[in-house]
Amino acid sequence: MAEIKFKLVETIGTISESNKGWVKELNLISWNERAPKYDLRDWAPDHVKMGKGITLSKDELIVLRDILNQMEI
Amino acid sequence: MAEIKFKLVETIGTISESNKGWVKELNLISWNERAPKYDLRDWAPDHVKMGKGITLSKDELIVLRDILNQMEI
């Protein structure tokens, strides 16, 4: 498998941490030297391994925020 | 690969749609007949194929909402 180059530009927030030390974070990440995208993902301690996740554009993040604000949670 | 059973309990909101008809949605999904979880994921039209995504607990969704509300977006 081709290596994926990424650069963690900014950690915006930590959403949770498992008892094994994996964290779910919202980050700004540049993949393969492209323009950075928002990224919601699980990470091993110190970001040495990445888990499942999803990238989001700024517009998608705004829609998601509005959806969450309309939920009764 | 073992088949993954899932039941789409509720579509909470649609975050975006690509020009190929794939949608990014926030759903409540029951995986393998377990208790439903929040799920942020890309889907092909009519949910026939699932793309990358991430599951979130209610507590994680609340933290994510609060993070998004603090961002200047």
CB contact under 8 Å between A40 and B58, yes or no, is no
The ipTM (two decimal places) reads: 0.91
pLDDT at position B4: 77
Measured CA to CA, the distance from residue A22 to residue B55 in angstroms comes to: 14
Interface of B with A in 25-44 (CB under 8 A): 26, 40-42
Query: Which domains does chain A possess?
Result: 6-70 (2.30.31.70)
What is the identity of the amino acid at A17?
A: E
CB contact under 8 Å between B40 and A40, yes or no, is yes
Q: What is the pLDDT of residues A20-32, one digit of tens each?
A: 999 999 999 999 9
Return the axis-axis angle of helices A58-70 and B58-70, rounded to nearest 10°: 120
Give the pair of three-digit tokens for residue B50. 């699932």
Q: Give yes or no for a contact between A5 and A31, defined as CB atoms under 8 angstroms apart.
A: yes
Q: Given pLDDT bands bounded at 50, 70 and 90, which one contains residue B1?
A: low
pLDDT at position A4: 77
CB contact under 8 Å between B67 and A40, yes or no, is no
Number of C-alpha atoms within 13 angstroms, CB side, residue B23?
Answer: 14
pLDDT at position B2: 65
Chain A interface mutation, best of B29, B54, B69, highest count of A Cβ atoms under 10 Å: B54
Q: What is the pLDDT of residues B6-49, one digit of tens each?
A: 999 999 999 999 999 999 999 999 999 999 999 999 999 988 89
A15 membership: H or E segment, kind and range? strand A6-17
Q: Kindly tell me if the per-residue pLDDT of A34 is higher than 90.
A: yes
Which parts of chain B are beta strand (E)? 6-17, 23-31, 37-43, 50-56
